[in-house]
């Protein structure tokens, strides 16, 4: 039996991707004209916040695909081999969105608008006691240096992992010994990625990029929370691509058993995300210290006046917790293409909202800005991910057929 | 509960057992049960057993636990005896989540284990007839029930033909009774059955 | 139905030697059926003596009051609560191995899960002692339960993390016990059906609940195990989370930090795995089970140790960083002066914690070290010393200097009865473990049989032919077994 190894992006697929990017570009332009170009600092900040929100969110989501690969590699997982090329292709977007996000972050950091990152304001940096205290971390040079290093490191290590995987396509492993060596080699590089990942995504990067928007506020949980949010969205994106490829008669060896496990990941990490959210919220609510509660008052406070973001928050909470809990609990729904697609879309959207409510109460504390523009900006990144992932999928066979664990994946049972 | 007549055969390989189960079913034999030393995936389907609903029961027990916790705490702290803890509202849901979660798990787990024991008739001092002690060691024991129409000799030959070893006719009690395994205890209707035989 | 039992030959076998089902039964039942060795008796007696000393210590405390302990103002929680958290933490590995690794289908768990679960239960039993005896007037311990009483009825404070603990620990103990025992049933039936002595027939007959191995029962058993695993996974997270809430809901510098819940969980798994290593390195040797708890198992668990140790390390650094970054002077003082400062009265404990928990496990990046039993054993002890100090650091360094500098001067040292109580719980723990290893199979027999033909050494050798097949051929032969 021959299999369809080579993905060819259809005209329609690329057309949609390009159309989305065009729409998104128009939205960005529109947002710039109506907000970004205005003299009012708040309006400018609103424009940059939209770019920051979308670029960082989607960057973390596509990077989560590489985290998925490295984590399963370290755990010697075999089940994911049948569709491993999918997260590989998604992770190929990291350098692209990484560049965009890097530029946006640097512009915000070094630009003249300080509404997003108050600590970049040269006057405040010299007068605000907290900013003086924090200057060792919250300073422009460190921000720029660490941001560039991080994005380069993710891109390079991700590239290395993909190279290792492709290397086998041409040259099968000759012996058991060679296979063991190959697996070991993979493990080493995956471990390097995970180390960099834990020093960036799971600690410093969310502090710098996101938490410093509320520069006086602090929470040790913040980065782990951000990680959980982006990881579950990353798994949802992988799932979407698996379903898409299956529907187009690719990935013959991937079946509902694999889908079931992806569904389990979405289910489990949705609950994990909720757990982290609850732990952070409950501890701050319980001890009730003003320097901490200020963060949640804007987001989940009691009155509409104090917390304009409560509506978005509760919507996101329902999408990200209740829906996966109730819908994905059943075995049959994890194995159903339509349900799982619906849930993956919902989760991607829900965590997009999560990032939205993490970022926007900073630059716009009193009211929720017109969110339609942000949808538009999101379309640009969605189109970009589609386009680049499509290209990356076409570049290599869809099955890493010479990997030592691939046969285990073929007979995988949940 | 009654003593019935069975024909048993031992299998040592899963690869032999599976086709045998399928063939026995297709040929119209009544498979009483297959006893195995460890769970064999897919054997239940091969035997035509329906899926268990234990999960659903667990879900219901869990929900009961959640509502018990929420209901009781709400009643105790907002109606029965209101106390001001650190200026928090009487209805302090975030602080109740931990106990609500714990009771959910507790009810679900205890309920499911009890249901499991009830369904499988498992309890201390419960005793049952065994067809072959090796079925908890290394042998899969297929047990066919004899009905009025069963031709013993033919069935024995059939089982042998499927690859079964040590094929025999056995009279066994199908139910359980209270007893100890170090003593031979009287089964419900053993006496009468043997006498009638 | 896929009858094919295949696993990549790159993976080392999980069961060494030339085994069939019967041999597995023989090997694992042998220690139970044989007379206990002299080593067993020595260990058991030592444990019993420690337990007796613990009972004496607790008796002293109950007779003369908690004043027998050197707790003072401001250190109202000293060794006892440190020990409580330490034991609860150790009690996490069992459920983690059984539940999370079951859900993730990690085959190697079968070799170690039974012993780890038993250990969990004993560790939770030990942990429970501390808050109970710490109450002082222990005959009133039942006051923590919400029961209708003549005081109003005045209910317990459901808003208090200490009460959440009551619910969390008791639920955890109950569910772990049910999980462990339901898994044991088939193995007890195996022992019952092999038993020759009268007492063994009676004992295992009662203990096995009349298990027969019926397919329908196995089907329900599988469903039960899976759901219990699914329930235990969030449960195991919740327990140490709630323990961390005991500290984190407060406004004490060094305690009130949002990362506590997941970081406590990671630390608990870390110390739990270390304790599993301590026990299994010895158990496999003494009971001759090296073919079932192989070097591979030790290797993998050491990987978990380096992983969780590093997670804990990231959390330590996060806390330290955030104490500075927060710009809260009290928080920063607690970290800088009470912990990091080696010259401060308890500075040494912070650095023991860092050394044992973050630095030392890093040697497990090296395969040679992971597979060295002496290193593993030594490290497992070191990790648990480190994890004990973690709790000590959190508790004592945060409260020995509180907001009132006039109360600063007291230096807390435990009394003999405090130490004795701790030693006594070791007695309890090991007494239980020795009894368990004598009367119960320390490895899940049925589960080993389940993976034998896929991961057993003999069977893996037979897979060479499959290994050489191309993917297409392999898929044609076996891929369509699905759902048939």
Residue ending a domain, among B64, B96, B119, is: B119
pLDDT value at residue C1? 39
Segments of C44-168 assigned E as strands: none
Q: Give C480's pLDDT tier (boundaries 50, 70, 90).
A: low
Which residues of chain A neighbour B59 with C-beta distances below 8 Å? Answer: 329
Would you say the ipTM is above 0.90? yes
* pLDDT 10s digits, C213-247: 999 999 999 999 989 998 999 999 999 999 999 99
Distance from CA of C105 to the nearest CA of B (A): 14
Whole-number Å distance between alpha carbons of C277 and C87: 15
pLDDT tens per residue across span B126-155 = 998 889 989 999 999 999 998 888 888 888
Q: How far apart are CA C273 and CA C281, in angstroms?
A: 12
User: Does B14 reside within a domain?
Assistant: yes
Task: Please give the Cα distance from C481 to B45 (Å, whole number).
Answer: 14
- Please say whether the beta carbons of C182 and C221 come within 8 A: yes
Across the interface, whether the CB atoms of B133 and C227 are under 8 A apart is answered no
* Strands B3-11 and B165-173, sheet pairing: antiparallel
Give me the pLDDT at residue B148, please.
Answer: 84
Per the CB < 8 A criterion, the answer to whether C68 and C226 are in contact is no
CA distance A85 to A4: 14
Taking CA–CA distances from B42, the nearest residue in chain A reads A413
| pLDDT tens per residue across span A329-353 | 888 888 999 999 999 999 999 999 9
Enumerate helices (H) and strands (E) in chain C, giving the number of each: 21, 0
Q: Which other chains touch chain B, taking contact as 3+ CB pairs less than 8 Å apart? A: A, C
CA torsion, points A284, A288, A291, A293, in degrees to nearest 10?
Answer: 60
Would you call B133 an interface residue with chain A, using a CB distance cutoff of 8 Å? no
pLDDT, position B39: 92
Q: Within a domain: residue B176?
A: yes
Based on the domain organization, do B141 and B96 belong to the same domain? no
Cβ–Cβ below 8 Å for B86 and A288: yes
Question: Which of A178-182, A292-296, B108-112, C268-272 shows the highest mean pLDDT?
Answer: B108-112
Would you call C186 and B37 a contact, using CB atoms and an 8 Å cutoff?
yes
What does the pLDDT read at residue A305? 79
Same domain, yes or no, for B34 and B65?
A: no
3-state secondary structure of B125: coil
Across C39-180, the runs of DSSP E, i.e. the strands, are none
Whether the CA torsion A32, A35, A36, A39 is positive or negative: it is: positive
Compute the count of residue pairs across chains B and C with CB atoms less than 8 Å apart. 216
Is the pLDDT score of C409 beyond 70? no
Beta bridge partners of A282: none
pLDDT above 80 (res C478): no
Tokens 């059943």 — which residue? A330
> Which chain C residues are Cβ-neighbours of A2 within 8 angstroms?
472
Beta pairing, strands B31-35 & B126-128: unpaired
Overall number of domains in chain B: 2
pLDDT confidence bin for B197, thresholds 50/70/90: very low
Higher pLDDT, B181 or C321: C321
Asked if C214 and B33 count as a contact pair (C-beta separation under 8 A), the reply is yes
Is A139 touching C (CB cutoff 8 A)?
A: no
Among the candidates B91, B119, B147, a domain finishes at B119
Q: Of C328, C259, C256, C324, which Cα lies nearest the Cα of A137?
A: C324
Chains meeting C at 3+ CB pairs closer than 8 A? A, B
Contact C326 A218 (CB under 8 A): yes
- Supply the pLDDT for residue A58: 97
With an 8 Å Cβ cutoff, the interface of chain A facing chain B consists of: 278, 281-282, 285-286, 288, 329, 413
For residue C76, say if its preceding peptide bond is cis, omega within 30 degrees of 0: no
pLDDT of residue C97: 81
Q: Which pLDDT tens digit goes with each residue over A93-152? A: 999 999 999 999 999 999 989 999 999 999 999 999 999 999 999 999 999 999 999 999
The verdict on whether omega for the bond into residue C456 sits within 30 degrees of 0, i.e. cis, is no
Residue A222: alpha-carbon gap to chain centroid: 15
pLDDT digits 0-9 by tens, B89-107: 999 999 999 999 999 999 9
Long-range contacts made by residues C161-165, C-beta under 8 angstroms, separation at least 24? C161/B98, C161/C242, C161/C245, C161/C246, C161/C249, C162/C131, C162/C246, C163/B99, C164/B98, C164/B99, C164/B102, C164/C242, C164/C245, C165/C131, C165/C242, C165/C243, C165/C246
Q: What is the mean pLDDT of chain A?
A: 92
pLDDT reported for residue C5: 76
Task: Give the pair of three-digit tokens for residue B116.
Answer: 């499991």
Decide if pLDDT at A42 tops 60: yes
pLDDT digits (tens, 9 = 90+) for A81-91: 999 999 999 99
Q: How far apart are CA A98 and CA A205, in angstroms?
A: 13
- Say yes or no to pLDDT of B68 above 80: yes
Which residue of chain C comes nearest to A76, CA vs CA? Answer: C11
Task: Give dist(CA A263, CA A256) in Å, integer.
Answer: 10
Give yes or no for a contact between A27 and A377, defined as CB atoms under 8 angstroms apart. yes
C214: β partners: B35
The answer to whether the CB atoms of B94 and A286 lie below 8 A apart is: yes
CA C84, CA C210: separation in Å to the nearest integer?
37
At B84, is the secondary structure helix, strand, or coil? coil
d(CA C341, CA C483): 64
- Contacts with B89 from chain A: Cβ below 8 Å: none
Q: Which of A135, A57, A137, A145 is CA-nearest to residue A106?
A: A145
Which of A364 and A17 is assigned the larger pLDDT? Answer: A17
Is residue A108 a contact partner of residue A405, using CB atoms and an 8 Å limit? Answer: no
Q: Does the pLDDT of residue A192 top 80, yes or no? A: yes
Report how far apart the first and last C-alpha atoms of chain B are (Å, whole number).
Answer: 17
pLDDT tens track for C75-134: 888 899 999 999 999 998 888 888 778 777 788 888 898 999 999 999 999 999 999 999
Q: Which helix (H) or strand (E) holds C422?
A: helix C416-439
Average pLDDT, stretch C447-458? 88
Closest CA to C355 of C305, C389, C396: C389
Segment A368-394 shows an average pLDDT of 92
Do C171 and B121 lie within an 8 Å CB cutoff?
A: no
Mean pLDDT of C300-329: 94
- Distance, first Cα to last Cα, chain A: 25
Q: Comparing C-alpha atoms, which of A210, B138, A249 is closest to residue C28?
A: B138
Under the phi-then-psi rule, with left for phi > 0, alpha for psi from -120 to 50, and beta for the rest, what region is B164?
A: beta
Q: Are residues B135 and B46 in the same domain?
A: yes
Q: Are residues B83 and B110 in the same domain?
A: yes
Name the packing angle between helices C161-194 and C215-248 (round to 10°): 150
| Partners of B143 in the β-ladder | B8, B33
Angle at C88 between CA A195 and CA C120, to 5 degrees: 95
Q: Where are the domains of chain C?
A: 21-137+158-455
CA distance to A234, C114, C134, C419, per residue, from C82 (Å)? 39, 27, 12, 12
Smallest CA-to-CA distance from C212 within C188, C177, C179 is with C188
pLDDT category, C482, cuts 50, 70, 90? very low
CATH superfamily of C21-137+158-455: Formate dehydrogenase/DMSO reductase domain (1.20.1630.10)
Q: What angle do CA C259, A193, C368 make, to 5 degrees?
A: 95
* Residues of chain C contacting B60 with CB distance shorter than 8 Å: none
CA atoms C190, C194, C195, C201: torsion sign: positive
Residue C371 DSSP symbol: T
* CA-to-CA dists, residue A114 to A54, A129, A145, A213, C208, angstroms: 19, 17, 19, 10, 70
CA dist., res. C109 & res. C99, Å (int): 10
Angle between helices A372-395 and A41-74 (to 10 degrees): 30
Which residues of chain C does B101 touch, with a Cβ-Cβ cutoff of 8 Å?
234, 238
Q: In angstroms, rounded to a whole number, what is the distance separating the alpha carbons of residues A208 and C325?
A: 12
Residue with the two structure tokens 């190697």 = C108
Query: Does residue B71 lie in a domain region?
Result: yes
- Residue C326, Cβ density class (10 Å: 0-12 exposed, 13-18 middle, ≥19 buried): buried
Burial of C36 (0-12, 13-18, 19+ CB in 10 A): middle
Q: Is the peptide bond before C74 cis (omega within 30 degrees of 0)?
A: yes
Q: What are phi and psi of B168, to 5 degrees?
A: -145, 165
Average pLDDT, chain B: 88
Q: How many CB pairs under 8 A join A and C?
A: 134
What CATH number does residue B9 fall under? 3.30.70
Please give the pLDDT value at position B189: 54
In whole angstroms, give the CA distance from residue C185 to residue B40.
17
On whether the CB atoms of residues C253 and B86 are closer than 8 A, the answer is no
Which domain, by its residues, includes B79?
54-119
Q: Do A252 and A410 meet the contact criterion of CB atoms below 8 Å apart? A: no
* CA B152 remoteness from chain centre: 29
CB atoms within 10 A of CB C477: 12
Question: What is the pLDDT, as a whole number, of residue C411?
Answer: 82
Q: What is the pLDDT of residues A195-204, one digit of tens each?
A: 999 999 999 9
What are the beta bridge partners of residue B35?
B141, C214
- Tokens representing C374? 């002496």
CA distance B190 to A407: 53
C-alpha dist (Å) from residue B25 to B28, B34, B47, B144: 5, 12, 7, 10
CB contact under 8 A, B137 and C22: yes
Task: Report the helix count and the strand count for chain A, using DSSP H and E.
Answer: 18, 0
Q: How many Å separate Cα A240 from the centre of its chain?
A: 14
């Amino acid at each position: 039996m021959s299999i369809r190894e080579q993905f060819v992006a259809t005209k329609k697929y690329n057309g949609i991707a390009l159309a989305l990017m065009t729409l998104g570009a128009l939205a960005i332009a529109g947002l710039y004209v109506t907000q970004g170009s205005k003299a009012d600092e708040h309006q400018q900040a609103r424009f940059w916040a939209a770019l920051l929100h979308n670029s960082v969110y989607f960057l973390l989501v596509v990077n989560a695909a590489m985290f998925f690969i490295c984590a399963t590699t370290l755990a010697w997982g075999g089940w994911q081999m049948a569709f491993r090329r999918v997260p590989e292709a998604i992770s190929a977007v990291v350098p692209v969105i990484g560049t965009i996000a890097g530029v946006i972050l640097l512009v915000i950091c070094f630009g003249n608008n300080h509404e997003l990152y108050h600590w970049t304001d040269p006057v405040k940096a010299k007068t605000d006691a907290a900013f003086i205290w924090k200057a060792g971390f919250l300073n422009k040079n460190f921000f720029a240096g660490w941001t560039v290093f991080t994005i380069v490191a993710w891109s390079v290590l991700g590239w290395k992992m993909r190279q290792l995987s492709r290397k086998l396509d041409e040259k099968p492993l000759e012996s058991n010994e060679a296979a063991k060596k190959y697996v070991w080699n993979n493990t080493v590089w995956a471990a390097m990625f995970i180390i960099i990942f834990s020093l960036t995504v799971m600690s410093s990067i969310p502090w710098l990029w996101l938490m410093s928007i509320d520069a006086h506020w602090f929470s040790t949980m913040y980065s782990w929370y951000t990680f959980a949010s982006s990881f579950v969205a990353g798994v949802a994106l992988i799932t979407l691509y698996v379903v898409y490829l299956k529907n187009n008669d690719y990935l013959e060896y991937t079946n509902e058993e694999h889908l079931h496990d992806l569904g389990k990941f979405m289910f489990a990490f949705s609950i994990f995300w909720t757990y982290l959210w609850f732990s952070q919220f409950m501890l701050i609510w319980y001890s009730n210290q003003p320097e901490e509660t200020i963060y949640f008052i804007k987001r989940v406070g009691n009155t509409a006046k104090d917390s304009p973001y409560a509506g978005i928050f509760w919507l996101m909470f329902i999408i990200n917790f209740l829906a996966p809990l109730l819908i994905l609990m059943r075995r049959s729904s994890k194995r159903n293409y339509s349900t799982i697609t619906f849930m993956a879309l919902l989760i991607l959207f829900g965590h997009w909202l999560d990032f939205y409510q993490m970022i926007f109460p900073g630059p716009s504390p009193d009211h929720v800005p017109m969110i339609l523009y942000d949808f538009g900006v999101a379309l640009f990144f969605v189109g970009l991910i589609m386009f680049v992932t499509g290209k990356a999928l076409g570049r290599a066979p869809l099955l890493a057929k010479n990997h030592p664990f691939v046969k285990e994946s073929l007979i995988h049972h949940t | 509960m009654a003593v019935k007549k069975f024909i048993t055969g031992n299998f040592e390989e899963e690869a032999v057992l599976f086709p045998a189960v399928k063939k026995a079913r297709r040929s119209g034999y009544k498979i009483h049960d297959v006893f195995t030393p460890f769970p064999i995936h897919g054997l239940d389907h091969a035997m035509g057993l329906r899926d268990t609903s234990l999960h659903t029961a667990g879900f219901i027990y869990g929900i009961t636990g959640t509502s018990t916790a929420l209901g009781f705490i709400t009643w105790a702290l907002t109606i029965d005896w209101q106390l001001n803890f650190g200026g928090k509202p009487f209805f302090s849901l975030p602080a109740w989540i931990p106990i609500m979660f714990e009771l959910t798990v507790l009810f679900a787990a205890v309920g499911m284990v009890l249901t499991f024991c009830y369904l499988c008739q498992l309890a201390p001092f419960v005793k049952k007839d065994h067809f072959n002690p090796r079925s908890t060691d290394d042998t899969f024991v297929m047990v066919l029930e004899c009905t009025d129409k069963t031709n013993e000799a033919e069935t024995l030959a059939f089982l042998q033909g499927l690859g079964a070893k040590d094929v025999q006719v056995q009279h066994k009690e199908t139910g359980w009774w209270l007893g100890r395994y170090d003593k031979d205890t009287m089964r419900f209707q053993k006496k009468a059955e043997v006498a009638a035989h | 139905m896929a009858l094919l039992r295949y696993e990549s030959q790159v993976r080392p076998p999980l069961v060494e030697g030339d085994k069939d089902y019967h041999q597995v039964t023989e090997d694992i039942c042998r220690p139970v059926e044989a007379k206990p060795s002299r080593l067993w008796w020595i260990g058991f007696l030592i444990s019993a003596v420690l337990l007796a000393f613990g009972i004496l210590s607790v008796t002293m405390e109950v007779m003369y009051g908690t004043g027998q302990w050197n707790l003072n103002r401001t250190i109202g929680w000293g060794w006892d609560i440190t020990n409580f958290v330490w034991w609860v933490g150790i009690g996490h590995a069992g459920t983690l191995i059984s539940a999370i690794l079951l859900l993730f289908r990690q085959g190697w768990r079968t070799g170690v899960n039974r012993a780890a679960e038993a250990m969990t239960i004993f560790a939770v039993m030990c942990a429970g002692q501390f808050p109970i005896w710490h109450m002082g007037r222990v005959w009133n311990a039942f006051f923590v339960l919400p029961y209708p009483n003549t005081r109003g009825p005045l209910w317990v404070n459901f808003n208090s993390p200490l009460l959440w603990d009551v619910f969390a620990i008791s639920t955890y103990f109950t569910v772990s016990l049910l999980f462990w025992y339901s898994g044991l049933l088939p193995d007890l039936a195996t022992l019952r059906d092999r038993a020759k002595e009268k007492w063994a027939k009676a004992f295992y007959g009662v203990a096995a609940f009349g298990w027969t191995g019926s397919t329908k029962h196995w089907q329900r058993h599988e469903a039960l195990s899976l759901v219990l695993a699914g329930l235990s996974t969030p449960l195991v997270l919740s327990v140490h989370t709630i323990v961390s809430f005991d500290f984190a809901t407060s406004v004490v510098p060094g305690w009130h930090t949002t990362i506590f819940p997941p970081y406590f969980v990671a630390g608990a798994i870390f110390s739990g795995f270390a304790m599993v290593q301590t026990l299994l390195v010895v158990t496999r040797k003494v009971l001759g089970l090296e073919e079932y708890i192989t070097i591979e198992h030790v290797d993998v668990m050491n990987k978990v140790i380096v992983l969780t140790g590093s997670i804990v390390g990231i959390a330590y650094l996060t806390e330290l960083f955030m104490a500075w970054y927060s710009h809260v002077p009290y928080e920063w003082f607690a970290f800088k002066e009470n912990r990091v400062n080696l010259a401060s009265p308890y500075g040494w404990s912070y650095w023991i914690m860092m050394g044992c928990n973050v630095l030392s496990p890093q040697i497990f990046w090296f395969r040679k070290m992971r597979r060295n039993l002496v290193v593993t054993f030594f490290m497992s002890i070191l990790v648990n010393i480190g994890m004990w100090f973690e709790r000590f650091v959190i508790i004592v360094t945060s409260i020995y200097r509180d907001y009132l500098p006039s109360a600063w001067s007291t230096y807390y040292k435990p009394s003999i009865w405090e130490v004795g109580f701790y030693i006594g719980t070791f007695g309890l723990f090991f007494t239980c473990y020795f009894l368990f290893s004598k009367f119960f199979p320390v490895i899940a027999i049925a589960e080993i049989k389940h993976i034998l033909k896929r991961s057993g050494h003999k069977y893996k050798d037979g897979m060479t032919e499959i290994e050489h097949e191309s993917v297409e051929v392999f898929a044609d032969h076996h891929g369509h077994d699905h759902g048939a």
